[in-house]
Amino acid sequence: MRRHVPLALCFIAGVFMAIQYFIPHPSVQAWYERLLAWLQTLLAFAFLIGTVSLVRLHAHKIGHKVAGRGYSWVLFVGLGLMVGFGFKGRAPGSPFDFMFQNVQVPIEGTMFSLLAFYIASAAFRAFRARTLEATLLLLAATIVMLGRVPVGDLLHRSIPAATDWILNVPNMASKRGIMIGVGLGMMATALKIMLGIERAWMGGTD
């Protein structure tokens, strides 16, 4: 019951989802759509598990008077407000939407934009012409960077063309090769999961 049932369910669900791709029969497709909706619903249910873990961790911090527990209160206030507002209404202009637009969107957007700084510091630190490979990486990056801005055109007429060439030839060839390898790795792993060979997802390998 503890090992065999989940593995059997895993196998059955996997085989069905794999072969439905080849069977256009409406009854099969109806089951496919139904199962897909179930899986998505399952995920929605699962979300609560994470939230419970989050709440437990921070309640623990507050309860044990851990340093910095004030921030745990901040977290609870944010969570409480969103849930409270959310079940009242989610239309544009509602408090729920206000919080989303003026708290979550700007913080996440700003975190994302930190990458503009990090991309510069990473380039400065790591782009060293130590080996042939590192030199090529550095040169390709530099040419493409130049080719993307007006200054590149001013520097030399052929820079935009060189940029296109790098993107469309060596870049394309290597991406394609990596993609094929990754695809095969994914398929092999998926098969091993279905057959119960790879079962880390249920904890351990016994």
Partner 1 sequence: MRALLPALSLSVSVLLALFPPAGRAADAPLSEVVRETAAPAAVTGLQARDYLDNNDRGDKIELSWCLSADDGAGALSVLEYRVWRSQAPDEQGELVATLEPGTAAHVDTGVTPGVAYYYRVEAFDGALSSPAATAGPAVGRINLFQTSRLPVLVLSLAFFAMVIWFTRLAARGTNLFVRRIPGLNAVEEAVGRATEMGRPVLYVPGIGEIDDIQTIASLTILSHVAKIAAEYETPLIVPTARSVVMSAAEEVVKEAYAEAGHPDNYNPDNIRYLSDAQFAFAGAVSGIMMRERPAANLYLGAFWAESLLFAETGFETKAIQVAGTANVSQLPFFVTACDYTLLGEELYAASAYLSREPKLLGGLKGSDWMKVITICIIVAGVVLTALGVPQFGRWFFTQ
Partner 2 sequence: MNRLGKFLQIDRRWIFLAILIAVLAPFIWPMGLPIVITKPVQDLYNAVDAIPPNGEPLFISIDYSPSTVPELDPMALAILRHAFSKDIRVAVLTLDPAGYGLAERALEAVAAEFGKERHKDYVFLGFQPGISAVVLGMGINIRNVFPEDAYGTPLSEIPMMEGIRNYDQIPLLITLSGTAVVEAWVIYAHQPYDAQIGAGVTAVMATDYYPFLDTGQLVGMLGGMRGAAEYETLIDRHDAGVRGMDSQSVIHILIIVLIVVGNIAYFGSRKRAPETAGGDAAA
Partner 3 sequence: MNMTLIGTTLAALLTIAVYSFLYKDNPFYKFAEHLVVGVSAGYYLVIYYYNFIDPTVVSPVFRLRIGGDAILLGGVDWWMALIPGLLGLILYARFFPKIGWVSRWALGIYVGGYSGLGIAPVMQARVLDQIRGGALPVHALHTGQGWTNLLLVVGLLGTLTYFFFSLKHKGVLGGLARIGIVFIMVGFGASFGYTVMSRVSLLIGRMNFLLHDWLRIV
Segment 22 to 81, residues that bind partner 3, using CB under 8 A: 22, 30, 33-52, 54, 68, 71-72, 74-81
- Which of partner 3, partner 2, partner 1, none lies near 83, with the C-beta cut-off 5 to 8 A by kind? partner 3
Cβ closer to partner 1: 156 or 176? 176
Neighbours of 96 (CB within 10 A): 20
Does residue number 155 form part of the binding site for partner 3 (CB under 8 A)? no
Stretch that binds partner 2, among 14-22, 42-50, 70-78, 132-140 (CB under 8 A): 132-140
Token representation of residue 76: 């609870």
Least Å distance between CB 115 and partner 2? Answer: 11
Token representation of residue 62: 């507050």
Site string for partner 2, 159-178 (x = CB under 8 A): --------x-----------
Cβ closer to partner 3: 64 or 184? 184
Token representation of residue 110: 């700003």
- C-alpha to C-alpha distance for 111 and 123, rounded to whole angstroms: 19
In one-letter notation, the amino acid at residue 64 is H
Least Å distance between CB 4 and partner 3? Answer: 10
Cβ closer to partner 3: 63 or 177? 177
Token representation of residue 65: 């008077």
Tracing tokens 């407000």 back to the chain, one arrives at 81
Torsion sign across C-alpha atoms 109, 110, 115, 120: positive
Tracing tokens 């109806």 back to the chain, one arrives at 30
Site for partner 3 in 86-105 (CB under 8 A): 86-87, 90, 96, 98-105
DSSP 135-180: HHHHHHHHHHHHHHSHHHHHH-TTHHHHHHHHHHTHHHHHHHHHHH
- Which of partner 2, partner 3, partner 1, none lies near 124, with the C-beta cut-off 5 to 8 A by kind? partner 2
CB 106 within 8 A of CB 112: no
Contact residues: partner 2, CB under 8 A: 92, 105, 109, 116-117, 119-121, 123-131, 133-134, 137-138, 141-142, 145-146, 148-151, 153-154, 167
